[in-house]
Amino acid sequence: MTAFNDGKARDPGGGPSDEERMAQHSLFQAVFDGSPGAAVLIRHKDGCLVRANQGWLALTGYSLEEVQGRTLVELGCWVDPQEGQDCWAQIGVHGRLKAREVRVWFKDHGRGPRRVRINASSLDGLRASDGRHVLLSMEDITAVRDTGGTSPSGVVAQNLANDRLAAQLDLYALTEELARVGHWSSDGKSVYFSPGLQKMSGAQTPAMLTVEEARRRIHPEDLQIYLEAREAMDGRVFEYRIMGPEGGVSWRRARIHRHCNSDGSFLDFGVILDVTAETEAALVLREQLAFIEKITSHVPLMLFLYERRGDGTEVFPFLSPGVRKLFGVEAEEARRDASLLFNRLHPEDRDGVRHSMDAAHFDGGIWSHEFRIIGEDGWERWLLGHAINRLEGDHLVAYGSVSDITDRKLAEQRLQDSEARFRSLTDLSSDWYWETDEQLRFIHFVGYQQNKILRSEAEILGKTRWEIGALNMSEEDWAVHRQVLESRQPFRDLELLRMGAHRQQYWVSISGAPIFDARQRFRGYRGIGRDISDRKRAEGETQRLAFYDTLTGLPNRRLLLDRLAQAQAACARTKRHGALFFLDLDNFKDLNDTLGHDVGDLLLKQVAQRLLSCLRESDTAARLGGDEFVVMLLELDEDENEAAAHAERVGEKILKRLNAPYELAGREHNSSPSIGLTVFSGGAQGVDELLKRADLAMYQAKAAGRNTLRFFDPQMQAAVLARAALDADMRQAVQNQELLLHYQPVVDAAGGVRGYEALLRWNHPRRGVLAPGSFIGLAEQSGLILPIGQWVLRAACHQLVTWSRGLDTQGLSLAVNVSARQFRQRDFVDQVLAVIDETGVNPQRLRLELTESLLISEVEDAIRKMAELRARGVRFSLDDFGTGYSSLNYLKRLPLDALKIDRSFVSDVLTDPNDAVIVRTILALAQSMGLQTVAEGVETEGQRDFLRDNGCTLFQGYLFGRPGLLGH
Ligand SMILES: Nc1nc2c(ncn2[C@@H]2O[C@H](COP(=O)(O)O[C@H]3[C@@H](O)[C@H](n4cnc5c(=O)[nH]c(N)nc54)O[C@@H]3COP(=O)(O)O)[C@@H](O)[C@H]2O)c(=O)[nH]1
């Protein structure tokens, strides 16, 4: 019999410490005590037993205390040398032995040897101590051998084969490492740290610590939690912090169990999980949530995590506090009951939200939807939801946010309303809206189609205004417009003439203003356009009426003056000359009087056309009115003589062309003009002055016999100026009592004074007494003859009244000259009668002298007026008889009293037989008509005698007395 001994002495210095043994024992028991029938021990390589499980103790009859630290030999445990030959050697050398059956004698030798099947394996992987361990398992097969049967615990023995056990222990260690779990076990005094826990606690952590050492590692703030769990021993899971050797903190999640041994002892062990990463992540998450809560507390924003499970259950595992603001629901409540949020959805939007959530899977998992909710207060609010959806199995998980966009939606709505209003306005009006980008290319045209602008939108979009072009804009004009745009200035009423699709022209007016964004960056232009074709047409018509003669279409006086002013300015610039023609048609009045105004108008139109045919583009032909035309030539030579010669050639051409026969209403008509011409340069003379000069020259042409051309004559101008001055002075004459009457006696054949002729004089303040020949014509033209005639009539009547009071003079008559303009006044008769009544004169003493030419134009009217006055006793003489038509037809119808034989006949009556015949004829005529005759200008006795001998009754002339003041 061989002692069951490896034959080696125990090495007291290198043997396991108590703590080691305790730890190994704890592990051993934790792992193997649960295997009934298995007898297992661990032996140190030095032969000392370090651990034995309950099965082994039961098999051998030892107590744990007896076996620990002792070798099997010391325990008196023998193995039959026959059977156990080299058995131990194998165990000692290799730590491996496969199912050897040996007889063993244990403590209770009385029971005889036990037959056991023994297995051994190395326990290097256990690393529970610094030495090499051997695990021995023994199966009691005594009964089996004795009876020849099979061991009921054979299977267990197989399972607990040393190799497998070692593998399990290795696996366990590895699992701990990988899972970052570990465990400790403690008997209340010392604590064994498993390899996993050691690794978790730091590389230098020993396997065995005292309880105090182990507890010092627990964070002071968490010690209480730990102790409570340790005390309660109720299997609770709890967490606490461990302070690392280098000051860090790590988190542990633990569960503690107590194992009670059969001998009443116990073993506590805890399974430890390192949850540092998880806990720190949770802390970070908590901080982040706090941050989210903080930043969203003032913003209508909610973050959420949503899950829809396979059974349709919906939950919000996470909701940020913003849910309160948006939905009026507390986050906690909504987390418990998702329907609280879904119920808030606007009924019209519910399906849409659901649909968009489902559809999000097909959109890369992105959900984005605008929807309405009905808030707590009953008001609609607009929300915008964004989420990333993910399917996890049959779970739909969505992470996202919901924000309040009510303000934006309202603003959009207002904008839409505004745009709709704007669109309806542009639809109703002819205006359109346009917009360009930063490069000034059109990007919008609204209301454009309604307008009759016939370009298509496609033709315009993407182009600049100048690329589209306008008929009235030159390159320079566009450059000016572009300058305005480039300086970002607004512009108004840019008027463009464009060509439509059907080649009809139209006018548009464009106004615009630059667009700047919130950061004041230029974004383009926007504005309106308007079709102003109608306005332009109306303006053109107005302009035509204002500046053109409606009959001939030529420029009128206003436009002529304007062009003349421009021409003068141009001449001043270019140093060149211009010329101005004043044309008046000869005898035009006769045409009007004989053939009527319509025919006169025909002539004027044809004259206008002929004038234009004589001129260049730059020249102007204008009609001032009546038969007066003006022609303006421009760009003549710088040399005045050359310019005058050129103008004369044009004048001759006009003269010739206007002299050609006209066809007027089927009749041939001949007409000629009188043309005045003046040459000008610069602005030395005003436009009125230039016109006057041409006008004067035209009068010169008239005076020269008409149908001719005359240049302006400065002498004539002086006369005109004098005339103008005289006219101005004459206007003061009546008021300043500068008028007076001279009286020339009218005598009978015996030389007795029968009366006088009142002859007007003007005692001019500077020029002395003026005869009527120097001012009556002007007074006729200006109309001043009317007040002057009134004054003469009144003065003459007063004189007659004076005479009526003298015996010598009461039989005198007084002749007063009446001008044509005076007589043609509608109320002439009333005026005369009023003076008669006013002065109380005897009308029979008053003799009004009328000229033939005065009577001839409106005979009937003259007869009526004369008859009315004649009825009151007023007498009439026909002045200058013989110089006019002297038609007997009207002569016999006029209520005349006397004929005055013109001085021109009288003066030559003795020398010119024709005049003598005329005088005799007049005298015979007067006699036959019962009229008196007054011979004017009798200067010699011979003349008087001839006249008297031929029947003349009254005489007037220097022979009897010059006109003068009475009493002289
Ligand atoms: N409407 C009015 N016309 C008037 C008025 N007063 C005059 N007149 C017209 O002016 C004409 C010129 O008048 P006047 O210069 O006064 O000349 C008159 C005589 O001085 C002149 N005369 C008279 N006798 C002689 C003479 O022997 N020789 C000569 N060379 N001249 C003489 O004749 C003029 C009178 O002419 P008449 O009137 O035809 O009798 C004058 O012709 C008037 O028409 C007025 O108040 N209103």
Helix axes 828-839, 785-804, angle to 10 degrees: 30
Measured from the Cβ of residue 312, the count of other Cβ atoms closer than 10 Å reads: 6
User: If you measure from the C-alpha of residue 591 to the centroid of ligand 1, how many angstroms do you get, rounded to a whole number?
Assistant: 34
In the block, which residue shows the tokens 């909710």?
A: 373
Measured from the CA of 785, which atom of ligand 1 is nearest?
1
pLDDT at 141: 72
Q: What is the pTM of this model?
A: 0.40
Cβ–ligand 1 distance for 817 under 6 Å, the answer yes
| Partners of residue 710 on adjacent β-strands | 676
Q: What are phi and psi of 754, to 5 degrees?
A: -105, -15
User: If you measure from the C-alpha of residue 945 to the centroid of ligand 1, how many angstroms do you get, rounded to a whole number?
Assistant: 22
Spatial CA neighbour of 818 closest among 845, 854, 843:
854
Q: Where are the beta strands (DSSP E) in 261-413?
A: 266-274, 301-308, 314-319, 366-374, 380-392, 395-404
For domain 298-405, the CATH architecture is 2-Layer Sandwich (3.30)
User: If you measure from the C-alpha of residue 955 to the centroid of ligand 1, how many angstroms do you get, rounded to a whole number?
Assistant: 14
Give me the half-sphere count of Cα atoms (radius 13 Å) on the Cβ side of residue 877: 29
**Cα 611 to Cα 174, 621, 828, 859, distances in angstroms:** 124, 7, 43, 38
Over the range 767-802, which residues count as b (16 or more CB within 10 Å of their CB) and which as e? eeebebeebbeebbebebbbbbbbbbbbbbbbbbee
Measured from the Cβ of residue 915, the count of other Cβ atoms closer than 10 Å reads: 19
pLDDT tens digits for 235-245?
889 999 998 87
User: If you measure from the C-alpha of residue 758 to the centroid of ligand 1, how many angstroms do you get, rounded to a whole number?
Assistant: 9
Cβ–ligand 1 distance for 884 under 6 Å, the answer no
Cβ–ligand 1 distance for 760 under 6 Å, the answer yes
> Residue 516, by phi and psi: left (phi above 0), alpha (psi -120 to 50) or beta?
beta
Run of H or E including 899: strand 898-901
**Smallest CA separation from ligand 1 atom 18, residue:** 759
CA distance 672 to 607: 10
Here the ipTM equals: 0.93
Best residue among 813, 814, 817, 934 to mutate for probing ligand 1's pocket (most ligand atoms within 8 Å of CB) is 817
The secondary structure of residue 374, as a DSSP letter, is E
The three-class DSSP label of residue 19 is helix
Q: Decide: 250 and 244 in contact? Cβ < 8 Å.
A: yes
Measured from the CA of 849, which atom of ligand 1 is nearest?
38
Tell the CATH superfamily of the 548-712 domain: Reverse transcriptase/Diguanylate cyclase domain (3.30.70.270)
Q: What are phi and psi of 643, to 5 degrees?
A: -65, -45
| Partners of residue 306 on adjacent β-strands | 398
Q: Decide: 847 and 876 in contact? Cβ < 8 Å.
A: yes
Measured from the CA of 741, which atom of ligand 1 is nearest?
46
Cβ–ligand 1 distance for 776 under 6 Å, the answer yes
Helix axes 533-547, 557-574, angle to 10 degrees: 90
In the block, which residue shows the tokens 């206003």?
A: 558
| Partners of residue 497 on adjacent β-strands | 507
pLDDT at 269: 81
> CB neighbours of 856 closer than 8 A, spacing ≥ 6?
884, 885, 887, 890
DSSP sequence for 527-579? EEEEE-HHHHHHHHHHHHHHHB-TTT--B-HHHHHHHHHHHHHHHHHH--EEE
User: If you measure from the C-alpha of residue 368 to the centroid of ligand 1, how many angstroms do you get, rounded to a whole number?
Assistant: 115
The three-class DSSP label of residue 30 is helix
pLDDT at 530: 87
The three-class DSSP label of residue 683 is coil
pLDDT at 131: 44
Helix and strand counts by DSSP (H, E) for the chain: 36, 39
Q: Decide: 518 and 585 in contact? Cβ < 8 Å.
A: no
Q: Decide: 956 and 935 in contact? Cβ < 8 Å.
A: yes
Helix axes 162-179, 18-32, angle to 10 degrees: 100
Cβ–ligand 1 distance for 792 under 6 Å, the answer yes
Tell the CATH superfamily of the 429-537 domain: PAS domain (3.30.450.20)
pLDDT at 166: 55
User: If you measure from the C-alpha of residue 811 to the centroid of ligand 1, how many angstroms do you get, rounded to a whole number?
Assistant: 23
**Smallest CA separation from ligand 1 atom 20, residue:** 963
pLDDT at 136: 72
Cβ–ligand 1 distance for 937 under 6 Å, the answer yes
Per-residue tokens: 436: 């360009």
Q: How do beta strands 932-935 and 898-901 pair?
A: parallel
Q: How do beta strands 133-140 and 181-186 pair?
A: unpaired
Tell the CATH superfamily of the 204-274 domain: PAS domain (3.30.450.20)
Helix axes 557-574, 687-703, angle to 10 degrees: 110
Q: How do beta strands 846-851 and 875-881 pair?
A: parallel
Name residues of the chain where pLDDT drops below 70.
Answer: 1-40, 42-48, 50-51, 73, 76-99, 107-112, 121-135, 143-174, 177-179, 203, 261-263, 297, 361-364, 426-427, 448-456, 501-502, 683, 716-717, 720, 884-887, 968
Tell the CATH superfamily of the 2-179 domain: PAS domain (3.30.450.20)
Q: Decide: 717 and 698 in contact? Cβ < 8 Å.
A: no
CA distance 674 to 654: 10
Best residue among 793, 936, 955 to mutate for probing ligand 1's pocket (most ligand atoms within 8 Å of CB) is 936
Measured from the Cβ of residue 706, the count of other Cβ atoms closer than 10 Å reads: 14
Cβ–ligand 1 distance for 788 under 6 Å, the answer no
In the block, which residue shows the tokens 């002071």?
A: 220
- Give the strands of the sheet with 628-636, arranged side by side: 620-625, 628-636, 577-585, 673-680, 709-711
Measured from the CA of 956, which atom of ligand 1 is nearest?
24
Cβ–ligand 1 distance for 880 under 6 Å, the answer yes
Measured from the CA of 742, which atom of ligand 1 is nearest?
16
CA distance 5 to 84: 11
CATH 3.20.20.450 fits 726-896, yes or no: yes
Cβ–ligand 1 distance for 169 under 6 Å, the answer no
Per-residue tokens: 543: 């302009």
pLDDT at 10: 31
User: If you measure from the C-alpha of residue 151 to the centroid of ligand 1, how many angstroms do you get, rounded to a whole number?
Assistant: 187
User: If you measure from the C-alpha of residue 22 to the centroid of ligand 1, how many angstroms do you get, rounded to a whole number?
Assistant: 174
